[in-house]
Chain A
Amino acid sequence: MVDPQDLSSSEAPNEFSEVSEVSNVPPSSLLGRDLGLAAAQSVGVSTAGARSFGKQLGGFWVTFKAMFKKPTTIEYPEVKEPTAERFHGRHQLNRHPDGLEKCIGCELCAWACPADAIYVEGESNTEENRMSPGERYGKVYQINYLRCIFCGLCIEACPTRALTMTNEYELADDSRSKLIFEKADLLAPLRQGMLMPPHPMYPDMDESNYYKGEVPGAHPSQEVQP
């Protein structure tokens, strides 16, 4: 490091001495570019006349006019506006009308994800433990909202429409682990006529009937016998 003392005592003229020599020159010309200072001096307050007052009033008029407009801001946490209809919010894992899960654990969403935010592990359905129609269901389903960019490619990839997006956007939290949503966090709630899986499939229907939407709701025989 060069000692500042040495610098000031050196023969080379320093910045400050140079400025003091040419102190009568305006600083703007010294820097070689116009900073608008000259213009500011020319409309200085001390030289204000009727013309400049009119200009100031023009500025206040804008403010005054705005007082009569409907405000566009909302008091967000207390007041909530609906999002656009197709807003990409939190994901949801849907159910068939009888309550069976639509997810078949195929992992196509995980493969489509450009941010590597989805982790899926599939498992085979058995007669005793049937979570979805067909052969497989998603046993582990995680979405990491620290990674998710809400692009919606996972939704496009899903072959059974199991994964869709809701309009829910309030996804901030105070720890990383809370932002990894598990299957239980993502599953759609049970609606009227649905039964909590595991339970058997609708009688005389196979998975293609489920995909065609021909299952109206849970059948009494699907109640799991204790």
Chain B
Amino acid sequence: MTTAQEDKTTAMVDLITVVIDGFEVSVPKGTLVIRAAEKLGIQIPRFCDHPLLDPVGACRQCLVEIEINGRAFPKPQASCTIPVEPGMIVKTQLTSPVAEKAQRGVMEFLLINHPLDCPVCDKGGECPLQNQAMSTGQADTRFTGTKRIFEKPINISSQVLLDRERCVLCARCTRFSDQIAGDPFITLNERGALQQVGIYEKQPFESYFSGNTVQICPVGALTGASYRFRARPFDLVSTPSACEHCASGCSLRTDVRRGKTLRRLAGDDSTVNEEWNCDKGRWAFKYVTANDRLTQPLVRDAAGDLQPASWPEAIAAAAAGLQGKRAGVLVGGRATVEDAYAYAKFARISLGTNDIDFRSRVSSTEERDFLAAKVVGSNPSYQDIDKSDAVLLVGFEPEEESPIVFLRINKQVRKRGLKVVAIASKLSVGNAKLRATFVCVSPGAEAAAIAAQELSAMSVILVGERASESAGALSAVVALAEKSGATIAWIPRRAGERGALDAGAIANLLPGGRPVDVAAARIDMQTAWGVDALPSGVGADAQQIISLAMSGDIQALVVGGVDPLDAEKSHDALVAMKNTFVVSLEIRPSAVTKIADVVLPVAAVTEKSGSFMSWEGRARSFDAAVDSLQRSDVRILSMISEEMSRPIGLSSVTAAAKEFASIGMWDGEKAKFVSVVAPALVTLGVNEARLTSWRRLLDSGSLQDGEENLAGTARKAVAIISPSRAAQLGVVDGDAIRISNSHGAIVLPSFIESISDDAVWMSRNSQGSHLLATLSVASGAVVTVVRD
């Protein structure tokens, strides 16, 4: 924002001057008294007040004396519910004995039934109740009766525990769930001394955002099952970090004790995640300490068995196997920007190829061209959503695939009724919460529906990675954006994809979005890297690399954290890897490890420094939170390249970050996007349906391994069919149906919902519903649906 604009906004806001404790302060109209006091550095004690939640005045701790134009309120008032008025004079506990006594009295009431089990409470040491009892409470109690006792703790979900006797009834958790997450699963029940937080008996607190309630609870009433009694705040060493689970770009705080991550909290970043994060980002970190972590290099011996090897041996074996062969590089979606840059440079310099792709999932050539033409180097932002007058969701399910984007849209929907249009085959829970206009299409027929949309120039089109699964959809998005002037924001599901795109880990782009087929772009990179020539011509993308490896044209693969079962034709990928020399860089054994020739262990996110690039193109850097001997991918690739005598010269993450920053973005012309025409849909036979699917936020993903409390709140795997199909099959909710094709079959309970009549929806990678591993297809394919 420029200074001129800033001045304009400041002038537009009405400022009101109030006097607090004898000091004048000017704040915008509508500011709450407690907030105005904060501006002066006067802290009024509070429990229920939270800047991102609606005021409620539940705890009464923030009582102050207020007079307006000489007329005083007869009693002390809650400063968290009263907005400033002209001529207001406020006296807080610092200057008013009345306010001081009132606050002391409220604190005494709050502590009457509080168990004072601070020594064994998780919150002890970081507890607002503890702190404010010290600052505004009194040392002795006058209460001699028996305290109210509740059974403790009760599980309100598998991961959140409730100690009702510690609760001060501030309603922060219930307000968060209702106002921010849109999951009003917890409420305050009963009245008087028996008032308590509760859940509906038949519906546990299964929200994707339930962890935030634990974080904002001002006492130890809500605790996380996986952290309960593990440590106290003063045991922990905290490191600011970034979330590796999705492209939302949350800032996090990682708390480590005795070399093990014990908890992660949402960081405070008002431009990105505000103060929230999702349960996956908060609780899915146990994979780092799983017992099966790879700790030393493995090399396949002559007998075909993997044997532990020293680093020099393994590096030599990798280099010898890659030397002189046509090789392809598959980079997983978890790579940091620095790692992705190293893969990109390694492919170009050490392997002399453009056959590299970071999209270890269902992808298309149309998508690759779309990324090069419209996404690389672009900077859409959360603020675009805040300012937009409509949001169009294409191949994107915000709650499941980028939860913080969901919270941001939800905030605008709640605040000003932002219009949301979802083009999908099925109405989802998340989109229903966003009150989205559901444009129901057959899987594969998205393009026509997108073309029919009317958008203003202030609209944002949020395009998910699944848009690539419907041919022509991305072309329709580009056409719509050109027609309307709307902003396109591409939101991949994995944290590393946007960074890998900008770092050039894709067949048609060099680092910084330089097109490989433009000579000037290649010369740029040749100068930067100090090499004579770089491979010209667009390389093969992920699916082509697999088919080239099957046919023997590619004889070696470097695979960095890719699960072959994430892509279509997963069985082909495994066969291709068996045929070729595979160097695998992984943190834990996967399907690739079984067939790899050299396995090199790498550091997990908490063990290394680096940065991710969120969907906004915003760098989210992080430091190592725990000490580890594991190396980042950059270092290992650099060692292999030296052994191959074609060094990439990136000795550390810092060196890679520095070099990538010095290269800068391509300022020349971007690649032209060539439109693809959507093919006609095939006609369906009897009992046939088009498959559609997406991944749940909480599913069988390998980064969620080892956290059973979290898995307990995952949504159950179901097969969703339309009412008319249900009638045709003669099934009701819960009856098992069988979905099959030539590769396999899955049996799931049916669920009847609003979905395109010719479609069947299943979650892509949940317990009992592993589509790509079983059916080898994910979306758009024709499957047979029968009653089981």
Contact = CB atoms under 8 A, between A and B. Distances in A.
Interface of A: 104-108, 111, 122, 124, 135-136, 157, 159
A105 B230 CA distance: 9
Contacts of B232: 107, 111
B119 A135 contact: no
Contacts of B229: 105-106, 122, 124, 135-136
20 contacts: A104-B120, A105-B229, A106-B119, A106-B120, A106-B229, A107-B232, A108-B119, A108-B120, A111-B232, A111-B234, A122-B229, A122-B230, A124-B229, A135-B153, A135-B228, A135-B229, A136-B229, A157-B119, A159-B119, A159-B120
Contacts of A105: 229
Q: Choose among B119, B228, B230, B234 the residue with the greatest number of A CB atoms under 10 Å from its CB.
A: B119
Q: How extensive is the interface on chain B, given as a class?
A: under 10
A157 B232 CA distance: 15
A105 B232 CA distance: 13
B331 to A, nearest CB: 39
A72 B310 CA distance: 68
Contacts of B234: 111
Contacts, number: 20
Contacts of A136: 229
A135 B225 CA distance: 12
Interface of B: 119-120, 153, 228-230, 232, 234
A122 B230 CA distance: 7
A66 to B, nearest CB: 54
A106 B229 CA distance: 7
A132 B229 CA distance: 15
A108 B232 CA distance: 10
A122 B120 CA distance: 12
A135 B228 CA distance: 10
Contacts of A124: 229
A159 to B, nearest CB: 6
B115 to A, nearest CB: 11
Contacts of B153: 135
Given A106-B119, A111-B232, A111-B234, 17 more contacts: A104-B120, A105-B229, A106-B120, A106-B229, A107-B232, A108-B119, A108-B120, A122-B229, A122-B230, A124-B229, A135-B153, A135-B228, A135-B229, A136-B229, A157-B119, A159-B119, A159-B120
Nearest to B151: A206
Contacts of B230: 122
- Listed from nearest, the 3 A-B pairs whose CB atoms lie closest are A106-B120, A136-B229, A108-B119
A112 to B, nearest CB: 10
Nearest to B225: A124
Nearest to A160: B120
Contacts of B119: 106, 108, 157, 159
Nearest to B234: A111
A80 to B, nearest CB: 38
Contacts of A104: 120
Nearest to A157: B119
A74 B120 CA distance: 46
A207 to B, nearest CB: 10
B139 to A, nearest CB: 19
Contacts of A157: 119
Contacts of B228: 135
Contacts of B120: 104, 106, 108, 159
Nearest to B149: A208
Contacts of A159: 119-120
B154 to A, nearest CB: 12
A124 B223 CA distance: 15
A45 to B, nearest CB: 72
A159 B120 CA distance: 8
Contacts of A106: 119-120, 229
Nearest to A124: B229
A105 B231 CA distance: 11
A104 to B, nearest CB: 7
A136 B153 CA distance: 12
Contacts of A135: 153, 228-229
Nearest to A158: B119
A63 to B, nearest CB: 59
A202 B229 CA distance: 24
A205 to B, nearest CB: 14
A201 to B, nearest CB: 15
Nearest to A108: B119
B613 to A, nearest CB: 39
A11 to B, nearest CB: 67
A13 to B, nearest CB: 66
A106 B228 CA distance: 11
Q: Choose among B119, B120, B153 the residue with the greatest number of A CB atoms under 10 Å from its CB.
A: B120
Nearest to A119: B258
A121 to B, nearest CB: 9
A106 B119 CA distance: 8
B5 to A, nearest CB: 52
Contacts of A107: 232
